[in-house]
Amino acid sequence: MLRQYELVERVLAYDPDADEAMLNRAYVYTVQKHGSQKRASGDPYFSHPVEVAGLMTELKLDQETIVTALLHDTVEDTLATVEEVERLFGANVARLVDGVTKLSKIEAMSEKERAAENLRKFLLAMSEDIRVLLVKLADRLHNMRTLHFIKSEDKRRRISRETMDIYAPLAERVGMYEYMREMQLLAFEQLEPEGYATITGRLAQIRSSEGGQVDAIALSIKQALAEAGLKVEVSGREKHPYSIWKKMAERHVSFEQITDIMAFRVLTETVEDSYKALGVLHTTWQMIPGRFKDYISTPKSNGYRSLHTSLIFENSMRMEVQVRTREMHETNEFGLAAHWAYKQQDKPDGQVGWLRDLIEIVDASHDAEELLEHTRMAIYQDRIFAFTPKGQLLQLPKGSTPVDFAYAVHSDLGSFAVGAKINGRHMPLRTQLGNGDVVEIIKSRNASPQLSWLGFVVTGKARAAIRRAVRAKERAEIAVIGRKLFDEIAARLPSKIGKKAIREAAKRLGLGGEEDLMAAIGAAKIDDHQVLEALVPGSTKGLPEPEKWSGPERAISIRGLTPGVAFHLAECCHPVPGDRIVGIRVPDKGVEVHAIDCLSLASGVDADWLDLSWGDRTTGAIGRLRVLLHNRPGTLAEAAGIFAGNRANIVSLEMTGRDELFGTYEVDLEVSDLAHLTRIVSALRASDAVAEAERI
Ligand code: MN
């Protein structure tokens, strides 16, 4: 383990202005806070943050990052708080430590509940400062290096799987190939112990039997380039066991069939020399077509730059050769970290966001594919990532609310949601969620989706589900009413009506089944006669056809008119039998019958009022009502149920206004007389769904 003075010296070696006292304080703080905690290796726990800080010094990172590395587990695993860290080490370090702590939440989740792709995005979105991500990657690398101390094989495999799926790709994403390779190798050893043993064994064999081959080829490359006047550094290595394994798996071949086991790297002084060297290599040895890549003129999105080619040595051996400048090499191996460290030298106070760095790189390239990569990054800016209490991670559009969240988890959870706890606090369902929020949905079996939710949800899934649920609820309400009416109709029949008879009746009426039949009755789409006729064909023979009694003017007789004179009921006041009525003569239209308190009469019609009254057997007229319904799902269905339950057909229904609280409807009802209409108004007023009901 690095000693305190060694760590401080390392930092001072590349940053003479570093705050030595603060580094010392941070070292002592982590030793004190972790106290007697132990690692699986038996080492004191604080050896871990110290080693992570050591890894960060290898990247020549600034003092704040080193301090963050030292403190990275204190908030998560000890009694230290972010506030205390801020007081002792400043706001920047506190923010960075907090960032690393948040990323650590993820490690607490169980494996099956997270998607690797989601997690990588989450880590990127959360790592607003590249330094947070760098500390996290170094943390993981050190944990992988000490993984063999963990006794449980399951745990070792789980951590390795996570490293392979999440952290190694992330390291690659920010160009830290050294970290990526080491993580992959350590994870590979745990996940595929046999494959690992075979490959490392075969590589050791090659090394001993063909001993100097790598060196010999490196030397001949160097000589060829020297003859062309190029001053270069050549190194050769065997390919990484994990990349050999991957090739074997991808190409379904054995170790023996893998030809390019060795790879060489040529480091030049200038970019020009790189291209010159490539020319020499291609004229000295045979190149393999299709394997040449120019990442200097077109860098990868993470900033990687190099020339790649494959050559054939001594007739059969295929070797990969990479040519690049020394400077590119450093940037390549430590990616954005190196890039960032260079920038820091220019701008000592620069808190350069890694994203901006990435955008700069992307701006400098013209490759469509890389721009696409960049666009994907931009997409993360429109997303938020939130957790379930069990640690499942969900990706949602920005502006999403607990209702969106609930529907994203499961449509049932959305349907029964009545409230939400965000990070443990009760919050309204319309609250917009933030990155990293833990959201707990409070359910009630009696709850149902509210129409008002449509005003704030942002996901299509929630929107569609709410609409569907509201419609279904209305249908269900109508079906309940329909079934009541049906039972009354069925009770008039001498024999019991079974399920089969109901199905057949529905079929005769052209309806899908029992549920549809009940819904049609409830919505007054079919009347008693039709239902009876469908249940027992011929049973309504001799009874008047429904139209005969339901027509508004058909059964109306008015006393007080000269026989033969045409009349009609006025549409301003819709008089119904039972109302006191008067008549007005209208040229060419006969007599218009008004209710006596009709407003249009009061406004002074210049005509004689005829004193009229309803005939004895008068029945059927249209009454007009204004109904104010509470603005929530199901109220209209309830009103419709009242009309149907009172045997009043709806002739027309119009929504004339709507606001947050109420929907206003004007409805024309076919009723038999005033008493009938009055009963309906009373029933409406008694209903919870109705705020007001009146004749107009
Ligand atoms: Mn750690």
pLDDT of 94 over the 90 cut: yes
Give the containing element (helix H, strand E) for 242.
helix 241-251
Tell me how far apart the alpha carbons of residues 494 and 483 are, in angstroms, rounded to a whole number: 18
Interval between CA 136 and ligand 1 midpoint (Å): 8
Look up residue 266 and give its amino acid: V
Q: Residue 354 has what pLDDT?
A: 40
Residue range 269-294: average pLDDT?
89
CA of 682 to the centre of ligand 1 (A): 71
**Percentage with pLDDT > 90 across the chain:** 26
Residue 103: its pLDDT value, please? 76
- In tens, the pLDDT along 102-141 reads 777 665 554 544 555 555 555 655 555 677 888 999 999 9
pLDDT surpassing 50 at residue 245: yes
Of 90, 91, 56, 94, residue with least CA distance to 75: 94
Within 10 Å of residue 542's Cβ, how many Cβ atoms?
6
| Domain at 349-468: CATH code | 3.10.20.30
> What number is the average pLDDT over the span 28-53?
94
Among 121-130, 196-205, 253-262, name the one with the lowest average pLDDT.
121-130
pLDDT at residue 547 tops 50? no
CA 612 to CA 567: how far, in whole Å? Answer: 11
Report pLDDT digits (tens) over 595-629.
Answer: 877 767 655 555 667 778 888 777 778 888 989 88
The phi-psi region of residue 588 (left if phi > 0; otherwise alpha if psi is between -120 and 50; otherwise beta) is: left
Q: What is the pLDDT of residue 552?
A: 38
Q: Place 362 in a pLDDT band, splitting at 50, 70 and 90.
A: very low
Q: Hey, what are 329's tokens?
A: 């090499």
3-state DSSP percent of the chain in helix, strand and coil, to 5: 50, 15, 30
Measured CA to CA, the distance from residue 624 to residue 329 in angstroms comes to: 85
Q: Which is the catalytic residue, given 20, 43, 76, 373?
A: 76
| CB proximity list for 432: less than 8 A, separation 6 or greater | 399, 400, 401
The alpha carbon of 49 and the centre of ligand 1 are apart by a number of angstroms equal to 6
Report DSSP letters for 270-302, one per residue.
Answer: SHHHHHHHHHHHHHHSEEPTT--EETTTS--TT
Query: Greater confidence, 130 or 594?
Result: 594
Query: Quick check: 349 pLDDT over 70?
Result: no
CATH homologous superfamily for the domain 195-339:
Beta Polymerase, domain 2 (3.30.460.10)
Distance 46 CA to ligand 1 centre (A): 10
CA distance 201 to 502: 78
**Count of beta carbons in the 10 Å neighbourhood of residue 658:** 12
Q: How far are the Cα atoms of 258, 449, 598, 599, 600 from residue 603, in angstroms, in the given order?
A: 102, 48, 9, 6, 5
How close is the Cα of 55 to the center of ligand 1, in Å? 12
Distance of CA 77 to the CA centre of its chain: 30
Q: How far is the CA of 348 from the centre of ligand 1 (A)?
A: 27
13: CA distance to ligand 1 center in Å?
Answer: 25
List pLDDT tens digits, range 634-670.
888 888 888 888 888 887 777 787 777 788 888 888 8
Instruction: Grade residue 84 by pLDDT with cuts at 50, 70 and 90.
Output: very high
Give residue 91's identity as a one-letter amino acid code: A
Check residue 66 and give its pLDDT: 94
Q: Is the pLDDT of residue 275 over 70?
A: yes
Mean pLDDT within 173-177: 74
Q: Is the dihedral of CA 670, 672, 675, 679 positive or negative?
A: negative
DSSP symbols for 7-51: HHHHHHHH-TTS-HHHHHHHHHHHHHHHTT-B-TTSSBTTHHHHH
What is the gyration radius of the CA atoms in the chain, in angstroms? 41
Mean pLDDT throughout 14-28?
A: 91
Confidence of residue 367 (pLDDT cuts 50, 70, 90): very low
Among 10-24, 57-71, 253-267, 495-509, the minimum mean pLDDT is found in 253-267
* Mean pLDDT for the stretch of residues 163-183: 83
Higher pLDDT among residues 328 and 552, named by residue: 328
Average pLDDT of every residue of the chain? 80
Give the mean model confidence (pLDDT) for residues 423-437: 85
- For residue 61, the CA-to-ligand 1 centroid distance in Å is 18
pLDDT of residue 341: 54
66 within 8 A of 177, measured Cβ to Cβ = no
What class does CATH assign to 621-695? Answer: alpha beta
Q: In this predicted model, what pLDDT tens digit does every residue of 575-592 receive, in sequence order?
A: 888 888 888 877 777 788
- Residue 437 falls in the annotated catalytic set: no
The residue with greater pLDDT, 337 or 627, is 627
User: What pairing do the DSSP bridges indicate for beta strands 567-569 and 590-595?
Assistant: parallel
- The dihedral built from the CA positions of residue 9, 13, 15 and 16, taken in this order, carries a sign that is positive
Domain boundaries, given as residue ranges, for the chain: 4-190, 195-339, 349-468, 473-535, 552-618, 621-695
372-423 pLDDT tens trace? 344 334 334 566 778 788 766 777 888 899 999 999 888 889 988 988 998 8
Alpha carbon distance 312, 284 (integer Å): 10
Helices (H), 347-498: 354-364, 368-381, 402-409, 411-415, 460-491
Question: Which residue did the predictor score with more confidence, 59 or 414?
Answer: 414
384 alpha carbon – ligand 1 mean position (Å): 25
Same topology, domains 349-468 and 621-695? Answer is no
Q: What is the pLDDT of residues 457-468, one digit of tens each?
A: 988 888 888 888
Type of residue at 325 = T
Give 48 Cα–ligand 1 centroid separation in angstroms: 7
Report pLDDT for 351. 32
Helix (H, G, I), strand (E, B) or coil at 412: helix
What is the 3-state secondary structure of 86-130? HHHHCHHHHHHHHHHHHHHHHHHCCHHHCCHHHHHHHHHHHCCCH
Q: What is the pLDDT of residues 628-644, one digit of tens each?
A: 888 888 888 888 888 88
How many Å lie between the centroid of ligand 1 and the Cα of residue 192? 25
Ligand 1 centre to CA of 528 (Å) is 75
Please name which of 107, 167, 95, 101 lies closest in space to residue 138, comparing C-alpha atoms.
Answer: 167
- For the residues 225-235, what does the mean pLDDT come to? 92
pLDDT value for 308: 92
Cβ atoms of 67 and 23 within 8 Å: the answer is: yes
How remote is the CA of residue 139 from the centroid of ligand 1, in Å?
5
Q: What is the mean pLDDT of residues 243-264?
A: 80
CA distance 474 to 418: 20
Could you give the percent of the chain with pLDDT greater than 70?
83
**Most confident option among 423-432, 537-546, 583-592:** 423-432
The alpha carbon of 359 and the centre of ligand 1 are apart by a number of angstroms equal to 29
Confidence label for 147 from pLDDT (cuts 50, 70 and 90): very high
Closest of 490, 386, 368, 377 to residue 431, by C-alpha = 386
Task: Provide the token pair at 94.
Answer: 């506190």
Measuring CA to CA, which residue among 20, 17, 26 is closest to residue 8?
Answer: 20
Q: What pLDDT was estimated at residue 364? A: 41
73 CA distance to ligand 1 middle (Å): 5
pLDDT score at 338: 59
> What tens digit of pLDDT does each residue of 475-508 get?
777 787 788 888 878 887 777 888 888 888 898 8
CA 8 to ligand 1 centroid distance, Å: 20
What pLDDT is recorded for position 221? 93
For the beta carbon of residue 696, count every other beta carbon within 10 angstroms. 12
Instruction: Quote the ligand 1 centre to 69 CA distance (angstroms).
Output: 8
**What span, in angstroms and rounded, lies between the C-alpha atoms of 345 and 364?**
21
247: which 2 tokens? Answer: 């090739």
CATH architecture of 4-190: Orthogonal Bundle (1.10)
**Per-residue confidence (pLDDT) for residue 160, from 0 to 100:** 94
More confident of the two residues 27 and 382: 27
- Per-residue confidence (pLDDT) for residue 348, from 0 to 100: 34
C-alpha of residue 142 to centroid of ligand 1, in Å? 8
Q: From the CA of 146, how far away is ligand 1's center (Å)?
A: 12
User: Of the residues 19, 77, 107, 514, which is catalytic?
Assistant: 77
Decide: 567 and 561 in contact? Cβ < 8 Å.
Answer: yes
Which token pair is 254?
Answer: 């054995």
User: Mean of the pLDDT values across residues 325-330?
Assistant: 87
Is 550 a residue whose pLDDT tops 50? Answer: no
- 106 Cα to the center of ligand 1, angstroms: 13
Q: What is the pLDDT of residue 551?
A: 37
Rounded to the nearest angstrom, the distance between the alpha carbon of 245 and the centre of ligand 1 is 29
Query: DSSP letters of 181-216?
Result: HHHHHHHHHHH-HHHHHHHHHHHHHHHHHSTTHHHH
Average pLDDT over residues 277-292: 87
CB 462 within 8 A of CB 453: yes
pLDDT at 108: 54
Q: Are 442 and 627 in contact (CB under 8 A)?
A: no
CB of 468 within 8 A of CB of 453?
A: no
| Run of H or E including 682 | helix 674-686
Half-sphere exposure in the Cβ direction for 688 (13 Å, CA): 3
Ligand 1 centre to CA of 166 (Å) is 16
